[in-house]
Chain A
Amino acid sequence: MIYDSAKRKHPAIEEFLALFRYRDFIYQLVRRDIVARYKRSILGIAWTMLNPLGTMLIMVVVFSRVFNAVQNYPAYVLTGLICWAMFSQSTSHSISMMVWGSRLIQQIYLPKTAFIVSTVIASMVNFLLSLVPLFIILAITKTALGWSIVLLPFSMILILLFSLGVSLLISTLAVFFPDVEQMYPVVLTGWMYMSPIIVPLEFLENVLNGWLLRLNPFYHVLNIFRIIMYKGGVPTGQDWAFALLVSFGALIIGWYIFTRKADSMTYYV
Chain B
Amino acid sequence: MENSQTVIQLEDVSVRYRIPNETIRTFKEYLIRLVQGRIKHNDFWALREINIRINKGEVFGIIGRNGAGKSTLLKVISKVLIPYKGHLWIKGNISPLLQLGAGFHPELTGRENIFLNATLLGHSRLEINEKMDEIIAFADIGDFLETPLRTYSSGMQSRLGFSVATAWQPDILILDEVLAVGDSAFRNKCINRLKKYKERGMTILMVSHESNQIRTFCQRAIWLDHGEIKMDGPAAEVCESYENSVLKSSGNS
Interface residues of A (CB under 8 A from B): 1-6, 21-22, 24-25, 27-29, 31-32, 35-36, 39-40, 103-110, 173, 177-180, 183, 263-264, 266-267
Contact = CB atoms under 8 A, between A and B. Distances in A.
B82 interface: yes
A4 B89 contact: yes
A12 B103 CA distance: 25
Contacts of A104: 98, 102-103, 120
A108 B91 contact: no
B78 A178 contact: no
Contacts, number: 100
Contact of B93 (A1, A6, A180, A267): A1
Given A4-B89, A108-B98, A266-B75, A180 B81 contact: no
Contacts of B94: 109
Nearest to B88: A5
Interface string B57-80: 000000000000000000100111
Contact of B90 (A3, A22, A103): A3
Contacts of B99: 107
Given A5-B89, A35-B112, A180 B17 contact: no
Given A3-B90, A6-B87, A177 B78 contact: no
Contact of B27 (A40, A110, A179): A179
A128 B8 CA distance: 47
A27 B115 CA distance: 10
Contacts of B92: 1
Interface string B88-132: 111111101011001101011000100110011111110000000
Nearest to B24: A177
Contact of A2 (B75, B91, B108): B91
Contacts of B103: 104
B108 A106 contact: no
Is the contact region of chain A dominated by helix, strand, or loop, or is it mixed? Answer: helix
20 contacts: A2-B91, A3-B79, A3-B89, A4-B88, A5-B83, A24-B119, A24-B123, A28-B115, A28-B116, A28-B119, A31-B112, A35-B107, A35-B108, A36-B105, A103-B102, A104-B103, A107-B99, A108-B98, A177-B27, A266-B81
B28 interface: yes
Given A177-B30, A263-B82, A107 B88 contact: no
A108 B121 contact: yes
Contacts of B108: 32, 35-36
A40 B148 CA distance: 11
Interface string B8-35: 0000000001100000011110100000
A5 B30 CA distance: 32
B120 A109 contact: no
Contacts of A25: 119-120, 122
Interface residues of B, number: 42
Interface of B: 17-18, 25-28, 30, 75, 78-83, 86-94, 96, 98-99, 102-103, 105, 107-108, 112, 115-116, 119-125, 148
Contacts of A29: 116
A177 to B, nearest CB: 4
B119 A178 contact: no
Contact of B96 (A24, A35, A108, A177): A108
Given A1-B93, A107-B98, A266-B80, A179 B26 contact: yes
A177 B105 CA distance: 26
Contacts of A21: 122
Nearest to B176: A107
Contacts of B107: 35-36, 39-40
Given A3-B79, A104-B103, A108-B96, A32 B116 contact: yes
Given A24-B125, A32-B108, A109-B80, A177 B26 contact: yes
A50 to B, nearest CB: 21
Given A25-B122, A108-B98, A266-B80, 11 more contacts: A1-B92, A5-B86, A28-B120, A31-B112, A106-B75, A107-B102, A108-B78, A109-B79, A109-B94, A110-B120, A267-B17
A1 B82 CA distance: 19
A179 B28 CA distance: 8
A60 B58 CA distance: 70
A218 to B, nearest CB: 21
B124 A24 contact: yes
B95 to A, nearest CB: 8
A2 B25 contact: no
Contacts of A109: 78-80, 94
B76 to A, nearest CB: 9
